[in-house]
Structure 1
């Protein structure tokens, strides 16, 4: 049996909706990577914290913006957001190797509906897994449905970025030219659909 896509199991998780969040993660981490300067004392840990914080706040801003009626988010310490009512999160790491922290669920996640998979009724944990290279660029973003018991990948979608963005106009205080003015060894500009991004912290 082939591995289902998230929207095969939960109709609320439409591909277009998942793509919007994946693009936010990719774009925000790429911008943050351009601001990273090891010669000035920046560390990988600091890069991860900054990437996580910006990504979280971008999702919150997009939810508050009202452009996407299906998106909701709050500012609680254990950050989660809702895609059509389905509770989701994101973390840095491989899709098939979630940590205990990644698997941790909030009270509202414990009420997620169950799905039938291979004759077994499962409650899935929905997460965006962000894989990164040692230099910080993103190598893959996968949206996965993990079994709540063992963290097994039940459903998976690998995001392939296009050239459109969703960040324009969300944060009037953020200017892309600010990032472009900061030199960084090895930093590369995204062009012609190239995928690049920043290293994140272990659980986001």
Structure 2
């Protein structure tokens, strides 16, 4: 008789809104699309001939994603979105009235979060305890994992609820409604949505910048040898 195989760990069954009502599907889709569009723009602006590589593109994609979320939060169009920490440890909050849920994002495999990804910031811990209570927030971290393919384009964005170093309580791929595949040979990823009223680098570059207004012509100073001229009408 063959020995029975150990049972596989159960798949996470909780959904984001099971943790907190502020984590709605619509809000997570908006945030995930912003991050996906930010990486699209970083890829579109990459110049590999001048030395760009996956590392520099990744840094730009992170900065673009952070900026998109900051701009959306300050626009007033998303009252449920706030920025808690605008440093390199960027933390944003989903939910208003000071009772929102802190979330961070990273690029990498959702199944393999790194130690750096799992590390929680002090302001994040405090905000999570305020939103969920100390007992429910113990060891918990919410993350958006931006997964990419070999070319750097976004494959999917996954919402994660991680407890400690090895416990996944929520694994929810965020629907992005991706458009048709990019044409073969094209190095630019199509926009997923037209979010936060930003058209992207391609469209912005195609429009000529307005010329600055002309400066008024300076009149020469009159000298003793120069008589003022009379203007005839």
What TM-score range do you get, normalising by the shorter chain? 0.7 to 0.9
Q: Larger deviation: 64-73 or 160-169?
A: 160-169
* 2-structure distance, mates of 1:166, 1:22: 11
Confirm whether residue 109 of structure 1 aligns to residue 124 of structure 2. Answer: yes
Instruction: Report which of the two structures shows the higher radius of gyration computed on alpha carbons.
Output: 2
1:80 aligns with 91
1:167 aligns with 196
Residues 98, 151 of structure 1: 8 Å contact kept: no
- Give the C-alpha shift of residue 42 in structure 1: 1.1
- Give the C-alpha shift of residue 19 in structure 1: 0.7
Q: Which runs of 5+ in 2 are unaligned?
A: 1-9, 178-191, 208-233
Residues 103, 151 of structure 1: 8 Å contact kept: no
**Structure with bigger RCO (C-alpha 8 Å, 6+ apart):** 1
Structure (1 or 2) with the greater strand fraction: 1
Confirm whether residue 19 of structure 1 aligns to residue 29 of structure 2. Answer: yes
TM-score, normalized by length of structure 1? 0.76
Shift in CA distance, 31/68, structure 1 to aligned 2, threshold 3 Å: same
- Give the C-alpha shift of residue 123 in structure 1: 4.2
* 1-structure distance, mates of 2:106, 2:66: 11
Given candidates 133, 140, 151, the residue that maps to 1:124 is: 140
Secondary structure class of the residue paired with 1:155:
strand
Q: Larger deviation: 28-37 or 80-89?
A: 28-37
Confirm whether residue 138 of structure 1 aligns to residue 148 of structure 2. Answer: no
Query: Between Structure 1 and Structure 2, how many residues are aligned?
Result: 173
- Give the C-alpha shift of residue 68 in structure 1: 0.7
